[in-house]
Chain A
Amino acid sequence: DAKTTQPTSMDCAEGRAANLPCNHSTISGNEYVYWYRQIHSQGPQYIIHGLKNNETNEMASLIITEDRKSSTLILPHATLRDTAVYYCIVRAVQGAQKLVFGQGTRLTINP
């Protein structure tokens, strides 16, 4: 079963920052937080991942709380092409390395 909780849907205005929350209160010490997104009829696209420090790359920023029980994905300047379903997933560093998907957040960017 998925170990994360995300809002079902969110809206954001084009050009504004989109902040997507994720709750993972049962995360263990050897689990990373991964974010993926899926645009309609395509395979999931990797966005970013982190263990306990905040991370930033060319696509987004990941803010993880100090207790690691929640995180926020930030798309700094959302565009219409960012409309997608965003998945927050916790994944063990070792072992099977599989990803178990929850229902994700359907983010709609409005013009």
Chain B
Amino acid sequence: GAVVSQHPSWVICKSGTSVKIECRSLDFQATTMFWYRQFPKQSLMLMATSNEGSKATYEQGVEKDKFLINHASLTLSTLTVTSAHPEDSSFYICSASPLTMYSSPLHFGNGTRLTVT
């Protein structure tokens, strides 16, 4: 159980275009989902906390107008990279945990590799 699915697994886009990444909890509901970014040979960096029905909370240094997050339901959060540039090329990973389980671990999607040309 506790499966988190991300789509797409990889995407290549041209500079200046926007890309949407989906994160779904397949067998549980999640009020909160988290978005991370990982550059080569580095650890995961938390970008933002996605809250169902309300605005996302962004970490310091992350541009909220560039990385749009929508959490419209208890099983789906989306991250849109707007006006993508080559420096946005990275591995984007989402995570979530079941709604009501105390201390339940976060489960992660398999990530989306974004390449901006």
A21 interface residue (CB < 8 Å to B): no
Binding site secondary structure of chain B: strand
How distant is the Cα of A44 from the Cα of B4 in the complex, in angstroms?
A: 11
Bin chain B's interface residue count. 20 to 34
Bin chain A's interface residue count. 20 to 34
Mask for B89-116, Cβ within 8 A of A = 1, else 0?
0010101010000110111111101000
Query: How many pairs of A and B residues are in contact by the CB < 8 Å rule?
Result: 53
Residues of B with C-beta under 8 A to A97: 32, 97, 106
| A residues in contact (CB < 8 Å) with B | 32, 34, 36, 38, 41-46, 49, 51, 87, 93, 96-104
Return A34 CB to nearest CB of chain B, in Å.
6
If the complex has contacts A41-B111, A44-B44, are A99 and B103 also in contact, measured as CB distance less than 8 A?
no
How distant is the Cα of A45 from the Cα of B95 in the complex, in angstroms?
A: 11
